[in-house]
């Protein structure tokens, strides 16, 4: 890749991860972080720091309970830390390992820096903006369908892309025989 324009792929375009693999990896990771959040919240209930949910409450009252509010507030920072630190350290998360995909920096071809990983994951929270979440999801889907490397907003801003496992960028020279 050219130093002036890291987005020009003179050596060809690496094979990007499929939308279904990215979605599957995200679901696995979301289940994992949700379980961690629930265990953390349950341990705080056990320690008496937050009250346990009351099973006799109506669904509406239960949704406003301190336990549910705590879980809702803790999910975002736990998700951000998990995705950012995993991608910066290894270029992938547990879900990405399961679906054999990884995140690469467009500038170096190796795992993203901590700043790149934070940027690509912070922009995922646009999906949670009230009244705009569908629009941001649609924009991400559209960008992934029309772009050369199937990048969502976070990938474009962070200058990263998600590829099938085993793809390294730029391609390594063949070892001498």
Q: Nearest-CA neighbor of 144 among 128, 125, 124?
A: 124
Q: Give the integer Cα–Cα distance in Å for 162 and 10.
A: 18
Positive or negative torsion for Cα 84, 90, 91, 95: negative
Write the pLDDT tens digit of every residue in 72-92: 888 889 999 999 999 999 999
Sign of CA dihedral 6, 110, 102, 29: negative
Query: How confident is the model at residue 106, as a pLDDT?
Result: 87
Distances (CA, A) of 161 to 63, 92, 108, 118: 37, 12, 11, 14
Answer yes or no: pTM beyond 0.85: no
Distant-in-sequence, close-in-space partners of 135: CB < 8 Å, separation ≥ 6: none
Question: Per residue of the chain (177 residues), what is the pLDDT tens digit?
Answer: 444 444 445 555 678 888 899 999 999 999 999 999 989 988 988 898 888 877 777 766 666 777 788 888 888 899 999 999 999 999 999 999 999 999 999 888 889 999 999 999 998 888 777 777 888 888 888 888 887 778 888 999 999 999 988 755 555 544 444
**Measured between alpha carbons, how far is 96 from 79 in angstroms, rounded to an integer?**
14
């Amino acid at each position: 890749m050219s130093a002036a324009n890291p987005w020009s792929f003179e050596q060809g375009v690496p094979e990007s991860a499929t939308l279904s693999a990215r979605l599957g990896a995200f679901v696995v990771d979301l289940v994992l972080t949700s379980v961690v959040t629930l265990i953390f919240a349950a341990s705080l209930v056990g320690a008496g720091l937050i009250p346990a949910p009351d099973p006799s409450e109506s669904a509406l009252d239960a949704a406003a309970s301190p336990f549910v509010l705590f879980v809702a507030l803790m999910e975002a920072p736990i998700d951000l830390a998990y995705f950012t630190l995993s991608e910066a350290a290894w270029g992938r998360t547990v879900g990405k390992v399961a679906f054999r995909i990884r995140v690469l920096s467009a500038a170096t071809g190796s795992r993203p820096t901590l700043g790149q990983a934070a940027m690509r994951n912070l922009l995922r929270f646009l999906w949670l903006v009230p009244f705009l979440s569908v629009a941001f999801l649609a924009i991400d889907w559209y960008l992934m369908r029309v772009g050369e490397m199937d990048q969502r907003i976070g990938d474009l801003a962070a200058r990263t892309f998600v590829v099938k496992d085993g793809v390294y960028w730029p391609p390594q020279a063949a070892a001498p025989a």
